[in-house]
Amino acid sequence: MAPMLRLYNTLTRQKAAFAPIDPSHVRMYACGPTVYDAAHIGNARPIIVFDLLFRLLRHLYGAAHVTYARNVTDVDDKINARAAERGITIRDLTDGTLAAFHDDIRALGVLMPEDVNVAGERPRFVEPRATDHIAEMIAIIEGLVAAGHAYVADGHVLFDVPSMPDYGGLSKRPLDEMEAGARVEVAPYKRSPLDFVLWKPSKPGEPSWPSPCGLPAPGRPGWHIECSAMSWKHLGKTFDIHAGGIDLIFPHHENEVAQSRCCFSTDVMANVWLHNGFLQVEGEKMSKSLGNFITIRDVLKDWPGEVARLAMLKTHYRQPIDWTVRGLEEAARTLERWYVIVGDSAASPVIPDGLLEPLTDDLNTASALAELHRLDDPAGLKAGANLMGLLTQTKSARDQGSIRAAGLDVLEVEALIEVRRAARAAKDWAASDRVRDALLAMGVTVKDGKDGTVWSVTP
């Protein structure tokens, strides 16, 4: 029997056994990207980490029994400003950015809806967009006003924080601290400085929709309401797991909880809240001003996506991660070694003992990878790595991919490697060296080691 999944829950600040509300249908939500610009490598962290959790849940509960919703924020101030700057609609801007984001994360070995959804069945992976859920947002906003948890003021609809006695239960910040934070700039129409916007009027030229609560002027949603709307629509009023980066605990997740619980009169929005730690670059905070801001695209120019995925998974998801070239080089060497072991073998139908233990212990990927290092059975190694979204290609397919990516002719390179192999077998060292030099001139490095000959392509 598979070991019991244990997860660290931000809501309780404890690691506990995971028990789904409905064991035949595990439901998980992750806050996804705001699509106004190229995603950076920090944004890739929650995508990769929660992709791993999705894979693990599918393994433990069965692929047909897990639903994952990861939203796309396709309306917000930055999106509106960027679209206006370019003179295009927010839909055109966000469609383009989202398509590029999909290409990026596909390269990182992240499962996509088309990989897991089955025609005619309940969707297993949905990627809802905020602007497709305005009706659900309006229903929640009107429900909150009717229940006395929200009010209309100066063209806005605001959530009335003091109306919720246990507001703050997720972030566990003292009320006065939250108030002090909110006081920096308090809009005059707020009854309490903590109150937050559910709906606001649109300025001329901004995207707008007919407003709720009889407000005459068209408007647009506040930031938090979209996730209450999309998780409700796709997962229900309460669900199992809600995930995102640690920066989202307050105010975003706290406010999602307030909206959903007060609208639906529930004790929880989600039972388990998971938060990934932040990524920094070579020991420094990643920021545009420091010039160490790295997009996923930048990384993919220099490294195969699989190398980046492995580099990301070496650190436990709750710890801060230091993104370094050294870490990428190490990951590249590891994969090189594993591909030589696995070759073109098929994965074993069973996950090796010893791998599920760490993974089910709050996604202890560092120990899981150490376990993979101990495996030398090709079929077992492939099965274990596949569960983590690694070694998903055969060695031949990967080799051909890297030859092609370097602009070389696959047949020619493979033929030369074969000629060299035959020369070595015949102990014709001079011929073998000539071919090695010819390959080197093309950018293909061959090395002979105890596990046989390996080669790599320098792009």
Residues contributing to the site for ligand AMP (CB under 6 A): 31, 33-34, 42-43, 45-46, 244-245, 247-248, 276, 278-279, 286
Residue 34's binding partner, choosing from ligand AMP, Zn ion, none, with beta-carbon cut-off 5 to 8 A by kind? ligand AMP
Runs of H (alpha helix) within 273-409: 296-302, 305-313, 325-342, 356-360, 365-374, 378-387, 395-405
Helix (H, G, I), strand (E, B) or coil at 51: helix
- Strand, coil or helix: what is 239? strand
Strands 270-276 and 279-281: unpaired
Instruction: Answer whether 234's CB lies under 8 Å from 128's CB.
Output: yes
- Give the total of residues touching Zn ion (CB under 5 A): 2
Q: Of the candidates 11, 26, 28, 31, which one interacts with Zn ion according to CB under 5 A?
A: 31
Report in angstroms how near the CB of residue 414 gets to ligand AMP at its nearest.
40
* Region near Zn ion per CB under 5 A, out of 23-31, 46-54, 100-108, 290-298: 23-31
> Residue 168 touches which of ligand AMP, Zn ion, none (CB < 5 to 8 A by kind)?
none
SS (H, E, C) 117-130: CCCCCCCCEECCEH
Q: Cβ 73 to ligand AMP, closest distance in Å?
A: 6
**342 and 381 Cβ atoms separated by less than 8 Å:** yes
33 makes contact, choosing from Zn ion, ligand AMP, none, with CB < 5 to 8 Å by partner type, with: ligand AMP
Say which entry of Zn ion, ligand AMP, none residue 247 contacts (CB below 5 to 8 A, set by partner kind).
Answer: ligand AMP
Nearer to ligand AMP, 312 or 369 (CB): 312
69 by DSSP, 3-state: which? strand
**Taking CB within 5 to 8 Å according to partner kind, which of Zn ion, ligand AMP, none is near residue 437?**
none
* Cβ distance to ligand AMP smaller for residue 44 or 342: 44
Rank residues 59 and 106 by Cβ distance to ligand AMP and give the closer one.
106
Structure tokens belonging to residue 146: 């009717």
Cβ neighbourhood burial of 291 (10 Å; 0-12, 13-18, 19+): exposed
278 binds, among Zn ion, ligand AMP, none (CB under 5 to 8 A by kind): ligand AMP
* SS3 category, 153: strand
For residues 331 and 311, the answer to whether their CB atoms sit within 8 Å is: yes
78-115 in b/e form (b: 16+ CB < 10 A) is ebbebbeeeeeebeebbeebbebbeebbebbbbbeeee
CB of 300 to ligand AMP, least distance (A): 17
* Under rule CB under 5 A, residue 257 binds Zn ion: no
Cβ proximity to ligand AMP: between 235 and 248 the closer is 248
Which sign, positive or negative, has the C-alpha torsion 243, 247, 252, 257? positive
Which option in ligand AMP, Zn ion, none does residue 227 bind, with CB closer than 5 to 8 A by kind? Zn ion
- The residue number with the shortest CB distance to ligand AMP is 245
Q: Is the Cβ of residue 227 or residue 355 nearer to Zn ion in the bound state? A: 227
249 closest CA partner among 321, 172, 315: 172
Q: Sheet holding 66-70: strands in order across?
A: 125-126, 66-70, 26-30, 239-245, 270-276
Find the shortest distance in angstroms from Cβ 262 to ligand AMP: 24
- Judged by CB, which is closer to ligand AMP: 20, or 33? 33
Q: Across-strand partners of 270?
A: 239
Least separation in angstroms between CB 367 and Zn ion: 30
Tokens standing for residue 12: 């309780």
**In contact, 368 and 358? CB cutoff 8 Å:** yes
Nearer to ligand AMP, 248 or 269 (CB): 248
Give the per-residue contact string, 209-228, with Zn ion (x = CB under 5 A; - = no).
------------------x-
List residues near Zn ion by CB under 5 A: 31, 227
